[in-house]
Structure 1
Amino acid sequence: MFKPLMSCLLLILPSLVWASADNSSEQAKVEPAKLPDQYTFNIGGFYANSDSYMVVTNPKNGGTFPLDFEDDLNLKEKQFLPFFEFTYSFNQRHNIYLDWKSLHRTAQSPSIEKDFQVTIDDTVYDVEAGISLRTTLDLDILRLGYGYDFIQGSNYIVGASIGLHTMFVKTAFEGNIGICVPNSELAKYCDEVISTPRVVDNSVTAPLPDIGLYGIYEFSPGWVFKAHAQYFALKYNKVKGSLIDVRAIVETKISDEWSLTAGFNYYEVDVDYEQTLSVLEQDVNIADYNINYSFTGPMISVQYTF
């Protein structure tokens, strides 16, 4: 938790320093003009350096190991991703926002180097080394939140936010994959397999909370620096997850309604969950899975406000 908190402080500190400086001047003592309600649409792209893996089971010894989607399954590490953001600002200090990020990747691996085993919908799937495997990993993140500007000046804003985010994850494997039917002695009967051409797992997380800080500073007419840091961590029953979102951008107006933005974003999602099967009215632990997605890179967008 220390890392994201430090990121928050480092990003918001400049805004607090600027706010303090302005407060010491006569100009900052004047209340900012009342702002009208605004709707803002922001559409852009994000050049991401992705790192994603899943901890899977070794079918030979029952141990677990990380299966890297980029190194082991040939998914692209660098890719241009779309994003969409909508913000409604009202009553001078209040903001409601909705944003969406998407990462869809598919790759063909001519020859898998490692045996691994995954469990989907109470069925165990064995993937043997040496086969050709087509892998799909699609991730969409939808977030809804509320922000409040608790400090306002003539050319700066500092606020706090709280929100909920939901992840839609699709994992697909296509190749000569074995199906292992669960039994009371699961490991013993896993050699009784039936080939299947495609295995698909569609997972949706429950809405999970995140909190954050943000700062806005107009350092020159028509030029604005914006930064935010959001963090979330939760452990509930068999699920544990975290999210870190740190962003710094510069926005420039090209007209009263249109703006261009450019900046840098660090975004990491980490979800752990325990896989179990129900066998003879008892839960059998298959493996503890970890799915990690990390996006780091520059971003650009076009923004429309009215």
Structure 2
Amino acid sequence: MTFGSKCMQAGAAALLAAALTPALAADAPEDDRYSLSLGAYFVSRTNGTIRLDRTVGGIVTIGTSIDWERDLGGETSMTVPRLDGYFRFAPKHRMDFSWYKIDRGGLIVSQRGLDFGDVTFPPGSTLDSELNTETLKATYTYSFYRAPEIETSLSVGLHVTRMDASVRSSGGGLAESNSVTAPLPVFGFRLDYAFTPKWWMRSKYELFFLDSADEYQGALSDFTIAVEHHTFKHVGFGFGLNRSSLDIEVQDPDQRGAFSSVLNGLMLYVTVR
């Protein structure tokens, strides 16, 4: 199944949910003007590829698609801080945000030659590498149905990822690095449901697909499901699962390349509201 088909199915599911939700419902009291969740993001599995092309005199030479784990011996699990939250400025309108930063390192004796930007690393090189990504999401969320025990919403916003990659040959004097920031529009669907007054299930799915643009092409999907316990009046605790995938190709005249990443992780956090 193609990503485009997944996008169509997700959109159809969101429209169906909207159609099946009662059209008329009383707004819940404005007792959650804001929410701030801070915790740990335990990334249990991450992998991806990076590619940096070479451009000389307007002629582009496609670089090697470098597998982070296989070719660079990169880390595939780590624990990082994560921040999520929202501010509700009207009963059915709010702004959501998320932030996390993942720094990964790798060390390996290369088994094949790698073309990365203007540098070719020969087989047998001892490669020291870094791949750092910082993600910031900001979305406007509209709740088309909101009651004390359930809230269903649609969202639109920006998913901004900054990627810094570097590869160095120990003792060989070869080094290459690159940085790129990709702001991508995202669309999403969210469902929050209270099993009891204190136990809540929270889920959201965000996606983006762009196959033709001046500088960026790519696809993104991000799914989160979590359970929260409102232990105290303004403080609670939660845990959940997150899976995120990003494929992006950059066709800027000054730099060309591609980056893909898949993250699977567990979230543990404290929420204040």
Computing the radius of gyration from Cα coordinates, the structure with the larger value is 1
Give the residue type in structure 2 aligned to 1:76. E
1:36: how far off? 4.2
Give the residue type in structure 1 aligned to 2:265. G
Q: For residues 57 and 198 of structure 1, do their structure 2 counterparts lie closer, same or farther at Cα, with a shift above 3 Å needed?
A: closer
1:232: how far off? 1.1
State whether residues 8 and 228 of structure 1, in contact with CA within 8 Å, keep that contact through their aligned partners in structure 2.
Answer: no
TM-score with structure 1 setting the length: 0.76
Structure 2 residues without counterparts, runs of 5 or longer: 55-60
Indicate the residue corresponding to 1:159 in structure 2. Answer: 153
Q: For residues 16 and 82 of structure 1, do their structure 2 counterparts lie closer, same or farther at Cα, with a shift above 3 Å needed?
A: farther
State whether residues 15 and 217 of structure 1, in contact with CA within 8 Å, keep that contact through their aligned partners in structure 2.
Answer: no
1:135-160 CA-to-partner distances (Å, cap 9, x unmatched) read 00000011111101111223111111
1:116: how far off? 1.4
Alignment of 1:117-266 (within 5 A): 117-119=115-117, 124-175=118-169, 196=173, 198-205=175-182, 207-234=183-210, 235-266=212-243
1:298: how far off? 2.2
Indicate the residue corresponding to 1:52 in structure 2. Answer: 48
| Cα distance in 1 between the residues matched to 2:8 and 2:86 | 25
Indicate the residue corresponding to 2:106 in structure 1. Answer: 107
1:2 aligns with 2:5: yes
Q: For residues 12 and 214 of structure 1, do their structure 2 counterparts lie closer, same or farther at Cα, with a shift above 3 Å needed?
A: farther
Percent of paired sites with the same residue: 18
| Cα distance in 1 between the residues matched to 2:227 and 2:17 | 14
Q: For residues 156 and 275 of structure 1, do their structure 2 counterparts lie closer, same or farther at Cα, with a shift above 3 Å needed?
A: closer
1:262: how far off? 1.2
Structure 1 residues without counterparts, runs of 5 or longer: 24-28, 178-194, 278-285
Give the residue type in structure 2 aligned to 1:213. F
Alignment RMSD: 2.9
Range with greater deviation from structure 2 (76-85 or 227-236)? 76-85
| Cα distance in 2 between the residues matched to 1:15 and 1:127 | 53
Give the residue type in structure 1 aligned to 2:204. H
State whether residues 4 and 244 of structure 1, in contact with CA within 8 Å, keep that contact through their aligned partners in structure 2.
Answer: no
Instruction: Provide the aligned length of Structure 1 versus Structure 2.
Output: 262
Indicate the residue corresponding to 2:33 in structure 1. Answer: 38
State whether residues 214 and 251 of structure 2, in contact with CA within 8 Å, keep that contact through their aligned partners in structure 1.
Answer: no
1:116 aligns with 2:114: yes
Q: For residues 276 and 163 of structure 1, do their structure 2 counterparts lie closer, same or farther at Cα, with a shift above 3 Å needed?
A: closer
